[in-house]
C-alpha cells in the first residue's frame, strides 16, 4: 500500500516537472520565434522612397512577442475623459479615418528603419475621448505591462499615428499587433507596441518602464536618451 502510494506521488511529481518544462519551452520558443513577412507581401517603395523591410526590425521587447486574441481584444480609453470607451479592434478601424505616412524609427541600440505606417490619427481618438481640462498627460499601457507617456500637446502638434499596418502588412504579433504608436521624432522606446489601454492623466511626472530606469521622459531624438545626472 505504502509502495503504491509512493509510486503515485512519484508519477504526479514527474508529470508536474514535464508540464513545467513544456510550458517553459513553449514560452521560450514564442519569445524567440518571430513571424517572417514574405518579401512579396510588403511594400518596399512608396511614392519614390525606398523602405526598410519589416523583417529587418530586431525583436527587443521586455517579455517577447505578445499574442493578442483579436476577438477578445478591447482598447480601453480611460482616465480624465468625458467619453470613456472600450473599442474592439474592428471598431477602431471603422470609427476613425485611416492615414499612411513614412516615418523612420530610431532605436537607442543604434539601428533604424524607414517604414510606411498605416493607422488612425491619434488626435482623432483624443477628440473622440473628450479629455477634461486637467488632462495633461497621455499614458499608454501595453499587454506585456510596458508603459510610456507623452504630454497631450505632443499629439496636437504632430500628426501621430496609432498604426495597425507596416509596409502594407497588418502588424504581426512580434511587431505589435494590434496597435503600435508611431512616435515621430522620438527614440524607439517611446514607440510602444501591443497597446491595450490609453489613460488620460493629470500626472505630468509619470514615468514609464524605461523612464523609471534612467531614460529621458521626453525621448526626443535631438537629445540624449539618458537622463542628465
pLDDT at 11: 57
Task: Give the SS3 label for residue 188.
Answer: helix
| Domain limits, the chain | 1-33, 39-213
Topology at the third CATH level for domain 39-213: Sulfite Oxidase; Chain A, domain 2 (3.90.420)
Core vs surface per residue 34-66: b (16+ CB within 10 A) or e: beebeeeebbeebeeeebbebeebeeebeebbb
pLDDT at 5: 54
pLDDT at 174: 94
What is d(CA 68, CA 88) in angstroms, rounded to the nearest whole number? 12
pLDDT at 46: 96
pTM, to two decimals: 0.84
pLDDT at 151: 98
pLDDT at 23: 40
pLDDT tens for the 229 residues of the chain, in order: 555 555 544 555 545 444 434 444 344 444 444 567 777 799 999 999 999 999 999 999 999 999 999 999 999 999 999 999 999 999 999 999 999 999 999 999 999 999 999 999 999 999 999 999 999 999 999 999 999 999 999 999 999 999 999 999 999 999 999 999 999 999 999 999 999 999 999 999 999 999 999 999 999 999 999 987 5
Nearest Cα to Cα of residue 214 among 115, 118, 108: 108
Burial status of residue 153 (CB atoms within 10 A of its CB: 0-12, 13-18, 19 or more): exposed
pLDDT at 1: 56
Dihedral angle over CA of 54, 60, 66, 70, nearest 10: -30
CB 174 within 8 A of CB 181: no
CB 61 within 8 A of CB 121: no
Amino acid at each position: 500500500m505504502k509502495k503504491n502510494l509512493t509510486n503515485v506521488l512519484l508519477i504526479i511529481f514527474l508529470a508536474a516537472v514535464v508540464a513545467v518544462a513544456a510550458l517553459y519551452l513553449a514560452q521560450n520558443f514564442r519569445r524567440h520565434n518571430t513571424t517572417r513577412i514574405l518579401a512579396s507581401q510588403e511594400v518596399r517603395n512608396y511614392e519614390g522612397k525606398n523602405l526598410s523591410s519589416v523583417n529587418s526590425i530586431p525583436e527587443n521587447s521586455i517579455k517577447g512577442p505578445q499574442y493578442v486574441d483579436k476577438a477578445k481584444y478591447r482598447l480601453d480609453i480611460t482616465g480624465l475623459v468625458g467619453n470613456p470607451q472600450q473599442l474592439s479592434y474592428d471598431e477602431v478601424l471603422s470609427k476613425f479615418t485611416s492615414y499612411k505616412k513614412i516615418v523612420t524609427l530610431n532605436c537607442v541600440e543604434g539601428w533604424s528603419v524607414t517604414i510606411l505606417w498605416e493607422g488612425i490619427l491619434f488626435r482623432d481618438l483624443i477628440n473622440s475621448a473628450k479629455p477634461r481640462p486637467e488632462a495633461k498627460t497621455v499614458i499608454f499601457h501595453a499587454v506585456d505591462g510596458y508603459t510610456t507617456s507623452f504630454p497631450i500637446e505632443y499629439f496636437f502638434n504632430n500628426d501621430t499615428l496609432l498604426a495597425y499596418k507596416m509596409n502594407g502588412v497588418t502588424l504581426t504579433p512580434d511587431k505589435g499587433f494590434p496597435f503600435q504608436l508611431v512616435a515621430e521624432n522620438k527614440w524607439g522606446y517611446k514607440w510602444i507596441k501591443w497597446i491595450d489601454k490609453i489613460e488620460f492623466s493629470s500626472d505630468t511626472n509619470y514615468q514609464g518602464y524605461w523612464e523609471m530606469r534612467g531614460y529621458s521622459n521626453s525621448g526626443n531624438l535631438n537629445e540624449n536618451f539618458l537622463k542628465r545626472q
